Chain A
């Protein structure tokens, strides 16, 4: 188990190196480079820019810059935000709890909904029809538009729920917090529940066609138990993998959802930084996002390894 884990972790290193190269090249491809922000500022004189350039090492060869940047990044020195001069790590970390809360709750909701929809759709033809229509529709829904429409209906028109933010200035009860969570959670969970339901439905159908199900049915196992225990256990493995690997899409979804609902998480930090061309924050965001995706890939492999004895022979 441990060697498997270590080997999988080691495999993510070259991946992250490729990612970091991409990110680095991207930022340096900007007209004006990382200092583009100051070029437009009339208060910054050309000699200041020259000084900054030398100070930040931007006059050195690109390869050298990359190595020193990557080295510093590994040591946890992620530089300072151009926007307010505070360390990037601090700015990111203070936004993490809000994002974890939003993403965590909506993932949980998404998993619960997709378990219910996916399993029933795999055994009930009527539900399957409705679920197919519903899931294709939700997958096609532009997240930001869905968010705006929900805001319009439930916040502006009906006034049932707050339209944005994480809490009101005045009210600070738990009910207030929950009310602020509802719309962003629904938006973020909807698209995922749709994709996951479809996937679970297909793999359940596959599982129900397996020989061991026929065998169990012949042994007199009840249909309910057949579906809930035998087939679901088999279908759950690929489902777990997909849910965990969807983290990358979660990151994109969180950026959109957080911005629409002004949710003070990492996603809205990203859009704020984008507007200000705050490259140090943007680079750190992309690196962390990719690292998180790679790590979740490892987690999903480990989970499958732990749950499915068959995989142990092939590794």
Chain B
């Protein structure tokens, strides 16, 4: 990718356009939605998708398309903010461990390992059940379990950058540690952090929906894609549209995030943990 200027591959452009469209639709839901958020159409309860109700209606006669747009606000917000949070934690922990080395490195990496070995979803489900969170706390929880891979990769990046000559030169020129870290080392971490951010957004959306699907995430009457699925699962065979559409939105959004993350990383692997030992970009057929 980087060899051909800044032009993105077509899949990435489509994905970016879709994400922008979704965000716009969510932000402008008040104008974009065909019906009001709570508008009931009692004559059309449990109606199948039609020209009037594009995605059908639920058991109260609420328009599903409208609910999905409003749900997008919550789902996308949780995905985005938690991604920023986990990328920030990951970069901080990774940079500190990689740059400081010694006991700080050892302690931070042991904690990272411990966090990595706890099954993420069960941990989140228990936390959510215990703390009974609102949206803000939910963002914090989702962000708090997604930083470990980033920390590891950033640590490795920082270690290799810190060993480079220009860092030695900066130190010889009298720059102090915080300055070296901020001005010389961290800019080199930006590509890694960008990839982490995109992938974390997709994962954040998945985690929110999984939590809500089990009834411990976003609580009704606030709509999120996950809790719409939660409410739909018992009526899947009689009103399948109630489950199919919210799930499809989760799927497509996460897909877009992953496609974006992959093209930013140069067609690498889907998760940073899965980074191959030899970079496929350097292979020549």
Contact = CB atoms under 8 A, between A and B. Distances in A.
Q: Do A and B bind each other?
A: yes
Interface string B102-123: 0000000011011111111111
Contacts of A208: 283
A264 to B, nearest CB: 17
A39 interface: no
A286 B126 CA distance: 9
Interface in A170-198: 194-195, 198
Contacts of B229: 144-145, 148
A203 interface: yes
B130 interface: yes
Contacts of B214: 259, 271, 274
Nearest to B121: A252
Interface in A117-144: 135-137, 139-144
Nearest to B276: A202
A31 B132 CA distance: 9
A251 B124 CA distance: 13
Contact of A274 (B209, B216, B279): B216
Contacts of B131: 29-30
Contacts of B278: 203, 205-207, 209-210
B235 to A, nearest CB: 11
B251 A286 contact: no
Which 4 residue pairs are nearest across A and B when measured between Cβ atoms? A206-B278, A145-B247, A252-B121, A202-B276
B37 to A, nearest CB: 24
Interface string B188-230: 0000000000000010001001100111100000000000010
Given A136-B259, A145-B247, A286 B122 contact: yes
Given A136-B262, A144-B210, A145-B251, A15 B122 contact: no
A293 interface: yes
A22 B114 contact: yes
A149 B247 contact: yes
A18 interface: yes
Contacts of B262: 136
Interface of A: 14-15, 18-19, 22-23, 26-27, 29-31, 135-137, 139-145, 148-149, 151-152, 156-157, 194-195, 198-199, 202-203, 205-210, 238, 242, 245, 248-249, 251-252, 255-256, 259, 270-271, 274-275, 277, 282, 285-286, 289-290, 293-294, 297
B275 to A, nearest CB: 8
A209 B213 contact: no
B117 A15 contact: yes
9 contacts: A19-B114, A19-B117, A199-B269, A202-B280, A206-B280, A206-B283, A252-B120, A270-B122, A289-B122
Contact of B118 (A14, A275, A282, A289): A289
Given A148-B247, A248-B120, 8 more contacts: A140-B251, A149-B244, A195-B270, A202-B269, A242-B274, A248-B116, A271-B214, A274-B125
Contacts of A19: 114, 117-118
Contacts of B202: 140
B119 A248 contact: yes
Contact of B117 (A137, A141, A157, A248): A248
B269 A15 contact: no
Contact of A251 (B119, B127, B209, B250): B119
A208 B285 CA distance: 8
Nearest to B250: A142
Contacts of A259: 214
A26 B229 CA distance: 28
Contacts of B243: 145, 148-149, 152
Contact of A205 (B119, B257, B283): B283
Contacts of A277: 129
